[in-house]
């Protein structure tokens, strides 16, 4: 059985978990905490040389980076969540790159200072956090425009681009961003968060965070 290594607070990890659920692949979720140095062991670094999460072990085949993992899983299991058509695939790739380069960059800055710093007793960098909020505000506008014209991010049906985006906006509530400020995104997210591929991960991101904070 495929193993997914990571932590429930990690949006890239949750991307992979949602993808596996969406294509109905049984898997084992192995909790490994980078905040405790658990990703720096010799064994884990064989799977993920960067020492980051997620990583997968598919019967001895190791792979890291969430988008690469999702593409691999879809190809292996013949899922149209990652289209085989060249043009459709290019649209999905564009949005995946956009999410990583722009949204995840801003989210990481905000999330670290708003949430992680308190967990590891680190100093909050207010400038970095403000930059992160600025990035998110700027680039969520692009997402809002897109979902105002198509039901899913890359067109008329759900793809891994939607999974990547859903895992990215999932923590917005806990970092004080209102999805209601982006009505098209909010309607899209509300629909997908009712699907089993999401609810098998958690009822909400806040639920997962509360469990961590409770110890």
Give residue-wise pLDDT tens across range 89-100. Answer: 999 999 999 999
pTM: 0.96
Whether residue 151 is predicted with pLDDT greater than 80 in this model: the reply is yes
Residue 104's nearest CA partner among 10, 203, 198 is 10
Q: How many CA atoms lie within 13 A of 35 on its CB side?
A: 15
Cα 114 to Cα 109: distance, rounded to the nearest angstrom: 9
Task: Provide the pLDDT confidence category of residue 164 given band limits of 50, 70 and 90.
Answer: very high
Is 94 an active-site residue? Answer: no
Which tokens in the block code for residue 145?
């425009």
Please name the CATH architecture into which domain 86-213 falls: Up-down Bundle (1.20)
How far is it, in rounded angstroms, from Cα 102 to Cα 70? Answer: 19
Helix, strand, or coil here: 41?
A: coil
State both tokens at 153: 């991010």
Residue 215: predicted pLDDT: 63
Record the tokens describing residue 6, joined without a space: 């990571």
Q: Where in the chain is the domain with CATH 3.40.30.10?
A: 2-76
- Please give the C-alpha separations between residue 182 and each of 87, 92, 99, 110, 151, in angstroms, as whole numbers: 28, 21, 16, 18, 14
- Which one from 10, 48, 66, 79 is the annotated catalytic residue? 10
- Taking only the tens place, the pLDDT of each residue in 17-46 is 999 999 999 999 999 999 889 999 999 999
What is the CATH topology of the domain spanning 2-76?
Glutaredoxin (3.40.30)
Rounded CA-CA distance 107/97 in Å is 15
**Residues of each domain in the chain carrying CATH 1.20.1050.10:** 86-213
Mean pLDDT value across residues 103-120? 92
pLDDT confidence of residue 10: 94
At 49, list the tokens.
């040389």
| Alpha helix stretches (DSSP H) within the chain | 11-22, 42-47, 66-76, 86-98, 104-111, 117-120, 126-147, 160-169, 183-192, 196-199, 205-213
In angstroms, the Cα distances linking 194 to 83, 107, 197, 204 are 23, 23, 9, 10
Instruction: Compute the distance between CA of residue 18 and CA of residue 111 in angstroms, rounded to an integer.
Output: 20
DSSP states along 119-136: HHTPPP-HHHHHHHHHHH
């Amino acid at each position: 059985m495929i193993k997914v290594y990571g932590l429930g607070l990690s949006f890239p990890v949750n991307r992979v978990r949602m993808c596996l659920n969406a294509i109905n692949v049984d898997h084992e979720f192995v909790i490994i905490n980078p905040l405790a140095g658990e990703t720096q062991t010799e064994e884990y670094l064989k799977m993920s040389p960067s020492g980051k999460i997620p990583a997968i072990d598919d019967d001895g085949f190791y792979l890291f980076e969430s988008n690469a993992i999702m593409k691999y899983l879809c190809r292996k299991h013949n899922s149209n969540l990652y289209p085989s058509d060249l043009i459709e695939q290019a649209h999905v790739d564009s949005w995946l790159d956009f999410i990583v380069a722009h949204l995840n960059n801003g989210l990481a800055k905000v999330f670290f200072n708003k949430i992680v710093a308190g967990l590891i007793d680190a100093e909050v960098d207010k400038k970095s956090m403000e930059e992160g909020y600025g990035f998110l505000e700027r680039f969520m506008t692009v997402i809002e425009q897109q979902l105002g014209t198509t039901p899913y991010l890359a067109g008329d049906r759900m793809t891994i681009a939607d999974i990547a985006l859903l895992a990215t906006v999932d923590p917005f509530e806990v970092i004080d961003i209102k999805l209601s400020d982006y009505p098209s995104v909010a309607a899209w997210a509300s629909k997908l968060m009712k699907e089993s591929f999401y609810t098998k991960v958690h009822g909400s991101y806040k639920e997962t965070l509360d469990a961590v904070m409770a110890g």
